[in-house]
Amino acid sequence: MTIIINNEKFEIFEGARVVDAINLYLNSNELLKDHVATEVTDQYGNRLNDRGRLLPGSELIIDSELA
């Protein structure tokens, strides 16, 4: 299924959780490998639990900082 993270499209498996999207995003770019997610929100600004399930078309904003 397709989701959007920080305005970029990503393909992720059905049944994925927010934590899976965090790992996908941080591992997708060499510059982000040493970062940790500090906050994850949806397109409306709602904070998301890392165990929450994703739906096709979900839009996430992941804020991160160097670990």
Concatenated DSSP letters for 15-36? T-BHHHHHHHHHHSSGGGTTEE
Which domains does the chain carry? 2-66 (3.10.20.30)
pLDDT in tens, the chain (67 residues): 999 999 999 999 999 999 999 999 999 999 998 999 999 999 999 999 999 999 999 999 999 888 7
Question: 33 and 26 in contact (C-beta within 8 Å)?
Answer: yes
Written as six digits, the tokens of 30 are 């060499």
Virtual CA dihedral for 55, 60, 65, 67, nearest 10 degrees? Answer: 0
Tell me, what's the pLDDT at 39?
94
Question: 6 and 13 in contact (C-beta within 8 Å)?
Answer: no
